[in-house]
Amino acid sequence: MTISRRGFLIALPLFVAGCSSTGLNSQTNYAALPDEKFPLKQVPIDKIKPELRRQEVAYESAHAPGTIVIDTPARRAYYVLGGNRAMRYGVGVGREGLAFAGNAYIGRKAEWPSWTPTENMQRREERYRRLAGGMPGGPNNPLGARAMYLYRGGSDTHFRIHGTNQPESIGLAMSSGCIRMMNHDVIDLYERVEVGARVVVVQA
């Protein structure tokens, strides 16, 4: 099939608009959030690898809608929407994240949570011992803007899905930490997920 020069020129703006709308939608996902307790700046979309950006994707799964699936080796998290669709997020993992596998559920959620280093961390380094009483939530807190706490059988597993003040760690395996997400993404997931929701953590 051929297309005339006139037809091409008419169609070109629509084609360009279609391309730019995808970029626009992606940037909207990471726009400034001035109404947060600790306002978040816009994250330039070119600073986030395309494969790590939040997006709805095709996802065949036997899991019920509302389930969170953490694919640790792929550094991805999926919130199952149903109808073979899911919201996909890029994540970072750490030593605790690599040690956790199987089923859990969201036992509680917190906005701009406080953080207390684990006993092991306090034993290893003096700087963590100084935080034995806990670190208040805020932009310097390693749990970021939101945290979802994973439980089994009524007990806290000490495994969290949380935001981060180190967005460059997304897509990587860091030396410490659980499952970390960009603050904009963890806010989005937090709003979707209910306390009691099932979480499935897949390891290699």
Give catalytic residues, as residue numbers.
162, 178
- The CA radius of gyration of the chain, in Å to the nearest whole number, is 20
* Element housing 19 (H / E): helix 5-28
DSSP letter (8 states) at residue 173: B
Q: Token pair for residue 192? A: 């979707």
Contact 62/86 with Cβ under 8 angstroms?
no
Determine how many CB atoms are found less than 10 A away from the CB of residue 108: 13
What residues are paired with 146 via a beta bridge?
111
Using alpha carbons, list the distances in angstroms from residue 151 to 40, 88, 103: 29, 22, 9
CA 58 to chain centre: 18
Q: Token pair for residue 163? A: 């935001």
Length of the chain: 204
Q: Token pair for residue 174? A: 């860091």
Buried b (16+ CB within 10 A) or exposed e, 51-64: ebbbbeeebebeee
